[in-house]
Amino acid sequence: MEQSPTESFKVRRAQASDMQDVCQMIQELADFEKMSSGPELSVQDLIRDGGFEGGQEIFHCFIAELTQMDGSTLKVKPIGYSICFFSYSIWQTKSYFMEDLYVKPDFRNKGVGSMLLKEVIANAKAFGCKTVDFHVLDWNPARKFYEKIGATNLTATQGWHFYRLEEDVLNKLTTEV
């Protein structure tokens, strides 16, 4: 009689060896967000900026994994990630900014995103952060999840808008100032 495979999900802090998979999932997220040409980073950028080579740790990364046991074979594969970093608010002091939270489509609505978010929150609290901030595209169905768990839409409630100065503007402004 053949045994059915058993599956479990786990979230852990990423390692340098995970950055190839993270880079691939970043592209999947960009494709989902209809910004396929957006990511301009490499696996080496992630390894460097994640502090995996001993340099400054610019971001923290968490990996969601699927573990499958099929007979005597153990298979582990990454199915999601989150990237976070510190920011600072004069209103609340230290804050954690969640740049991405991504779960592969086949594993959505199975609690994996919640597990990743709980890990992000646990780390934010361990670091003494008062808030976890993030942005979500207006059409992304994840907005309903975030609002259901109590996230505040600052654009709607406080009128805050998220802006960015792109590299070409930075270059232009540094020569004009």
Phi (first) and psi of residue 116, to 5 degrees? -60, -45
SS3 assignment, position 156:
helix
Please confirm, yes or no, whether 96 is among the known catalytic residues. Answer: no
Question: Which pair of structure tokens corresponds to residue 30?
Answer: 């960009």
Beta bridge partners of 8: 67
Match 């390692």 to its residue by tokens: 15
Kindly name the residue from 81, 96, 102, 146 that is annotated as catalytic. 146
Phi (first) and psi of residue 79, to 5 degrees? -130, 0
Show which residues are catalytic. 146
